């Protein structure tokens, strides 16, 4: 992340414009060749938080960029229509108007709103008139163990309800047993069920055992047509981490280099502090380049991150930190 540049911001979220990933034939030789040097990846990841620093106006601009790349999320058992509508209102106006006016970022919105399948229609209605897409978690989220035909039907129902993005969960057992053909076939069928909706493949990396498994699963899902690969459901004991992120975005880079196709990345779960979002953005900029700093190729899956970013922006404008309750999400 350069301290002499601020990210390009737009007043409204642009329409998704990256070409769809049509996938490729499953190349088992390519998959078998993928390795992950865990110690080297961990050393590189551990060095990242101290290698980049942005302050003052530059930091404020990068934090606004993080907001524009956020899938504002509620995935709780006690979700209600009222909560989802409040979340959508926050997505429309994620940072208080006086702060946005002070830093010259009026019109800022989040990248999307992410909800359970049965809340899609509510979210679509609450976001009517905006460019903010609704993402639905489908396929028996979070375990992904419901009967396969029901997972496919859930995708179709979410798309019919108006979801423009579908976050699907893969069957972890296919990765743990090395059954790459089964994972590929499953992903292809889920991709087909999404139709025009973009599909994010959730790997549940905290349950895959090794970084090599993460790298290989990332590659197979991209071969099968995933438009995004995503770390976690947010429900695992370990969710997004820097080593996992480095592994996955290098798989994205390898896939881009070999096929020419850009695939998006979404870290989710455990990213709750503004300073952490800056580390992730700097990693994306270094490893994939500026093109991935747009909402059609990068998203944060977040529920509490926005509150801390808003507090940091208020400190930037006023010089004082505000109480957490002043920036409630919903």
Q: What is the mean pLDDT of residues 30-37?
A: 97
Task: For residue 235, indicate whether it is catalytic.
Answer: no
Task: For residue 296, indicate whether it is catalytic.
Answer: no
Residue 15 predicted with pLDDT over 80: no
Task: For residue 56, indicate whether it is catalytic.
Answer: no
Q: 257-299: per-residue pLDDT in tens? A: 999 999 999 999 989 999 999 999 999 999 999 999 999 999 9
Give the rounded percent of residues in the chain with a pLDDT score beyond 70.
Answer: 92
- Integer Cα distance of 113 and 199 in angstroms: 15
Q: What are phi and psi of 223, to 5 degrees?
A: -60, -35
Q: 162-212: per-residue pLDDT in tens? A: 999 999 999 999 999 999 999 999 999 999 999 999 999 999 999 999 999
Q: Quote the mean pLDDT of the chain.
A: 92
CB atoms within 10 A of CB 71: 25
pLDDT score recorded for residue 305: 94
Model confidence pTM above 0.85? yes
Characterize the bridge pairing of strands 165-169 and 134-137.
parallel
- Integer Cα distance of 211 and 229 in angstroms: 15
Give yes or no for a contact between 227 and 255, defined as CB atoms under 8 angstroms apart: no
Residue 50 predicted with pLDDT over 80: no
Q: What is the mean pLDDT of residues 207-236?
A: 97
Give yes or no for a contact between 193 and 231, defined as CB atoms under 8 angstroms apart: no
Q: Which stretch of DSSP H or E encloses residue 301?
A: strand 300-302
Please identify which of the residues 65, 71, 90, 167 carries the catalytic annotation.
167
Helices (H) then strands (E): counts for the chain: 13, 8
Q: Token pair for residue 322?
A: 């505000």
Residue 106 predicted with pLDDT over 70: yes
Residue 322 predicted with pLDDT over 90: no
pLDDT score recorded for residue 329: 64
Please identify which of the residues 230, 285, 296, 308 carries the catalytic annotation.
230
Q: Token pair for residue 114?
A: 């992410």
pLDDT score recorded for residue 105: 87
Say which range, 29-33, 50-54, 56-60, 226-230, has the weakest mean pLDDT: 50-54
Class of domain 28-318: alpha beta
Tell me the DSSP string of 185-222.
Answer: HHHHHHHHHHTTSEEEEE--GGGS-SHHHHHHHHHHHH
Question: Which SS3 state, helix, strand or coil, does residue 167 take?
Answer: strand
Please identify which of the residues 266, 285, 296, 308 carries the catalytic annotation.
266
- Integer Cα distance of 248 and 242 in angstroms: 10
Q: Token pair for residue 171?
A: 């069957």
Whether the bond between 142 and the residue before it is cis, its omega within 30 degrees of 0, is yes
| First-residue to last-residue Cα distance in the chain | 32
pLDDT score recorded for residue 63: 96
Residue 2 predicted with pLDDT over 50: no
Among residues 196, 71, 62, 195, the alpha carbon closest in space to that of 133 is found at 71
Residue 28 predicted with pLDDT over 50: yes
pLDDT score recorded for residue 53: 73
- Integer Cα distance of 314 and 60 in angstroms: 10
Confidence of residue 52 (pLDDT cuts 50, 70, 90): low
List residues bridging with 202 in a β-sheet.
169, 230
pLDDT score recorded for residue 4: 41
- Integer Cα distance of 122 and 316 in angstroms: 35
């Amino acid at each position: 992340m350069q301290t002499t540049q601020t990210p390009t911001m737009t007043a409204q979220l642009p329409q998704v414009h990256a070409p769809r990933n049509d996938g490729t034939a499953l190349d088992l030789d390519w998959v078998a060749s993928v390795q992950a040097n865990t110690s080297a990846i961990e050393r590189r990841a551990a060095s990242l938080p101290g290698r980049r620093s942005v302050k003052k106006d530059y930091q404020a601009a990068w934090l606004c960029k993080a907001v524009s790349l956020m899938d504002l999320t509620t995935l709780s058992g006690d979700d209600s229509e009222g909560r989802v509508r409040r979340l959508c209102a926050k997505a429309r106006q994620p940072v208080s108007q006086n702060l946005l006016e002070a830093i010259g970022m009026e019109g800022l919105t989040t990248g999307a709103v992410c909800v359970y399948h049965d809340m899609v229609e509510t979210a679509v209605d609450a976001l009517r008139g905006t460019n903010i897409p609704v993402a639905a978690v489908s396929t028996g989220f979070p375990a992904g163990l419901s009967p396969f035909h029901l997972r496919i039907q859930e995708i179709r129902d979410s798309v019919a309800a108006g979801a423009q993005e579908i976050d699907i969960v893969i069957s972890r057992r296919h990765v743990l047993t090395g059954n790459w053909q089964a994972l590929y076939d499953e992903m292809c069928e889920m991709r087909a069920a999404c139709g025009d909706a973009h599909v994010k493949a959730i790997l549940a990396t905290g349950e895959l055992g090794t970084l090599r498994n993460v790298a290989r699963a990332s590659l197979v899902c991209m071969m099968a047509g995933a438009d995004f690969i995503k770390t976690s459901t947010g429900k695992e004991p370990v969710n997004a981490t820097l080593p996992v992120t480095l592994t996955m975005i290098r798989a994205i880079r390898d896939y881009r280099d070999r096929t020419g196709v850009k695939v998006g990345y979404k870290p989710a779960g455990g990213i709750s502090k503004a300073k952490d979002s800056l580390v992730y953005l700097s990693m994306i900029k270094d490893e994939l380049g500026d093109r991935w700093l747009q909402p059609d190729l990068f998203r944060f899956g977040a529920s509490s991150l926005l509150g801390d970013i808003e507090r940091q922006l208020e400190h930037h404008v006023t010089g004082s930190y505000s109480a957490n309750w002043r920036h409630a999400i919903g």
